[in-house]
């Protein structure tokens, strides 16, 4: 099946710093979603971005499908950005019924 | 904005007991999914469901698991005889397309098997 690797595994920032999280995937995708898992365990949908670039406030994401990677940018980080960030992809292969394969996540800690 | 809901938010059960986790997907969605996340690990796919039948399942989804859409709104995951290793957060998700469209996740049910 498709493989998803996220880097870095851990990231520690001071409030106000910028960061870039990376997601590499091993095959063509028809879905790519970035999630933030909050301290209560909820998965908050950040972006649906199988290709192209999107921005939402301090967050933006870019997926280069031909090179099989996606980047999540967080600018002017805040303590509330802390948590685990997951990348999840849907295999574009014909046998898939839309299941998402998740990466291991990046644990982000933002200190005040 | 429509959202996926799940009940209960937390459940504690004894090993060997049956549990039913409930989900209400977004109303016009046709594709439904269950995922689980063991504490500290990544989220794993369990099963997808479309047109009142399982369309795909993972190796985790063995005979102890079953899914059902008992009416037009609910989608359930049943674990017949729980094991300690079933302790996890269980997420329901739904989409209006098989692939290439956003999957919306519910808030999860945290299951603890003692």
pLDDT attached to residue A98: 86
- Residue from A23, A36, A39, A43 whose CB has the most chain B CBs within 10 Å, to mutate: A43
Nearest CA in chain B to A40: B107
Between CA A19 and CA A76, with CA A83 as vertex, the angle to 5 degrees is 35
- pLDDT confidence of A87, banded at 50, 70, 90? very high
As given in the structure block, the two tokens for residue B18 are 């049956």
pLDDT attached to residue A34: 98
Nearest CA in chain A to B58: A99
Residue % of chain B over a pLDDT of 70: 97
Mean pLDDT of B51-78: 93
Query: Strand ranges (DSSP E) for B39-86?
Result: 44-50, 53-57, 65-68, 75-79
Verify whether the Cβ–Cβ distance A97 to B101 is below 8 Å: no
B71 vs B49: CA distance, rounded Å:
14
């Amino acid at each position: 099946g498709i493989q998803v690797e996220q880097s870095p595994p851990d990231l520690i920032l001071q409030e106000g710093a910028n960061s870039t999280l990376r997601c590499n995937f091993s095959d063509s995708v028809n879905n790519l979603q970035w999630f933030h898992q909050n301290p209560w365990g909820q998965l908050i949908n950040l972006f649906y971005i199988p290709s192209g670039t999107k921005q939402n406030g301090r967050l933006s994401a870019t997926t280069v499908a031909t090179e099989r990677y996606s980047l999540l940018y967080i600018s002017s980080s805040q303590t509330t950005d802390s948590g685990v960030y997951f990348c999840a992809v849907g295999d574009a292969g014909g046998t898939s019924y839309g299941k998402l394969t998740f990466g291991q996540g990046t644990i982000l800690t933002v200190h005040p | 904005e429509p959202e996926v809901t799940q009940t209960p938010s937390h459940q504690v059960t004894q090993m060997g007991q049956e549990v039913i986790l409930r989900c209400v997907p977004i109303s016009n969605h046709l594709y439904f999914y269950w995922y689980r996340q063991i504490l500290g690990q990544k989220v794993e796919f369990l099963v997808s469901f479309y047109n009142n039948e399982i369309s795909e399942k993972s190796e985790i989804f063995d005979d102890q698991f079953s899914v059902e859409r008992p009416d037009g709104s609910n989608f359930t995951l049943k674990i017949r005889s729980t094991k300690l290793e079933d302790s996890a957060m269980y997420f329901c998700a739904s989409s209006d397309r098989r692939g290439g469209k956003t999957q919306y996740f519910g808030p999860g049910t945290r299951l603890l098997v003692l």
